[in-house]
Amino acid sequence: MIWNINIIVPFIAFFLYAGLIILVVVSRPQTASRRSFRLFLLSMASWSLSAFFLLVDVSRAHFWMKMLSSSAITVMVTLYYFVETIIETRARWARYLVFYMVISIGLTLFSDLVIEYAVVVDSVVDWDFGPLILFIAPSYLIMLYSIYLLINNYQDIEDPNQKNRLLYLTVAVSLIIFGSIVNFTDLGKYPLDIAANGLSALIIAYSILRHQLLDIRVVIRQGLLYSIPTVIIGTTYFLIITLFLNIFHFYSGVEIFLTSLVVAVITALVAEPLRIRAQAIIDRMFFREKYNSSQMLQTLSGSVAAILDIYKITSMILDEVCSTLHIPMAAFFLRDQVTSRFQLTTQI
């Protein structure tokens, strides 16, 4: 087997979805939305794995193409059930989707009526549909309807955090269906659908880490993320020393020691600003609340220091807190020293 981009893409996509499955499985409690989301991710992982074996096990390309198509059908049905769960609605006809899915998968796997043939030459798939391909067409309509439900629910809710969750989820699902549609064109012989699936997995992962999709709070020690800059700096240090030794051909112990010392001093001087900058980027990406709170405190400490008017100070504090925490209405009460009663000072 010769590894190339066509094989690497589904391989990476599979492990991306496998990682997402683990995140959902270990999260507690296992609500209905998380269980349905887990089935959707499992179907996506099966889709990617089938695409990988399609290019690796070329002697059974027809079988793996059937598996890939069956996984795609499962994705579209499980996606609809997942969307129904998170928007808390259920259509009467939804109960029959399971029967449709079972029949469609049976026709795809155990006959040539959906996928007539499939061969792989030089990691490029050549395949053709059978006479019953239109039977699985409703699965694409189901996926489009799922996107419609997400968009409609996005417009109805007011919570900005929930809107962000639905926005990223809608974009991820749209990429999946876009990649699926490509299979009906001349570009279908390339794994563009799997590439779109992999990108979709990254968007879902970002939505979980950044916006706690389905209220999944991934416990990631900040030290683990902060170790990334340290690893980069250490690797750079090693590469610079190796480069010096190869260019100037230092062999004696004294020369190697002095070279290492000079490089270590330079790295230490340059590394600290880079480390601070890298940690700020990590905070902004994965610990946004902590980052926003720190920025708010810095802004207030710099602005309030020169103001003596208590009403201006409370107004500034209230504005910053409301904008940072996305609070629509708030008020500031101060206690009167004479009457011991709280009096309204500022409100938004």
Both 92 and 71 in a single domain?
yes
What's the pLDDT score for residue 62? Answer: 92
Torsion of CA 6, 7, 11, 12, to 10 degrees: -40
Between CA 270 and CA 280, with CA 276 as vertex, the angle to 5 degrees is 145
Both 57 and 126 in a single domain?
yes
Query: 84-130: per-residue pLDDT in tens?
Result: 888 877 788 888 888 989 999 999 999 899 899 888 887 788 888 88
Of 148, 131, 136, 41, which is closest to residue 97 (Cα–Cα)? 136
**Is residue 264, in this structure, part of any structural domain at all?**
yes
How much is the pTM? Answer: 0.63
Both 199 and 227 in a single domain?
no
273 CB neighbour count, 10 Å cutoff: 9
Give yes or no for a contact between 113 and 62, defined as CB atoms under 8 angstroms apart: no
Examine the fold and report which residue of 186, 215, 244 is the final residue of a domain before the chain moves on: 215
- List residues bridging with 121 in a β-sheet: 124
**HSE, side-chain direction, 13 A CA sphere, residue 89:** 10
What's the pLDDT score for residue 67? Answer: 92
Both 119 and 266 in a single domain?
no
Both 239 and 137 in a single domain?
no
Both 172 and 321 in a single domain?
no
What's the pLDDT score for residue 314? Answer: 76
Query: 268-279: per-residue pLDDT in tens?
Result: 666 667 666 766
**Is residue 292, in this structure, part of any structural domain at all?**
no
**Is residue 75, in this structure, part of any structural domain at all?**
yes
**Is residue 291, in this structure, part of any structural domain at all?**
no
Both 33 and 147 in a single domain?
yes
Examine the fold and report which residue of 173, 191, 215 is the final residue of a domain before the chain moves on: 215
Written as six digits, the tokens of 261 are 């010392």
What's the pLDDT score for residue 86? Answer: 82
Both 107 and 200 in a single domain?
yes
Residues of the chain with confidence (pLDDT) below 50: 219-221
Contacts of 217 (CB under 8 A, 6+ apart): 27
What's the pLDDT score for residue 27? Answer: 75
Both 185 and 232 in a single domain?
no
**Is residue 296, in this structure, part of any structural domain at all?**
no
Domain count, the chain: 3
Q: Could you tell me the CATH number of the domain that includes residue 129?
A: 1.20.1070.10
What's the pLDDT score for residue 248? Answer: 64
Give the domain range for residue 323.
304-347
Examine the fold and report which residue of 171, 199, 215 is the final residue of a domain before the chain moves on: 215
**Is residue 293, in this structure, part of any structural domain at all?**
no
The interaxial angle of helices 288-304 and 253-286, nearest 10 deg, is 90
Both 226 and 211 in a single domain?
no
**Is residue 246, in this structure, part of any structural domain at all?**
yes
Both 58 and 148 in a single domain?
yes
Both 68 and 131 in a single domain?
yes
**Is residue 299, in this structure, part of any structural domain at all?**
no
Residue 81: burial class (beta carbons within 10 Å; 0-12, 13-18, 19+)? buried
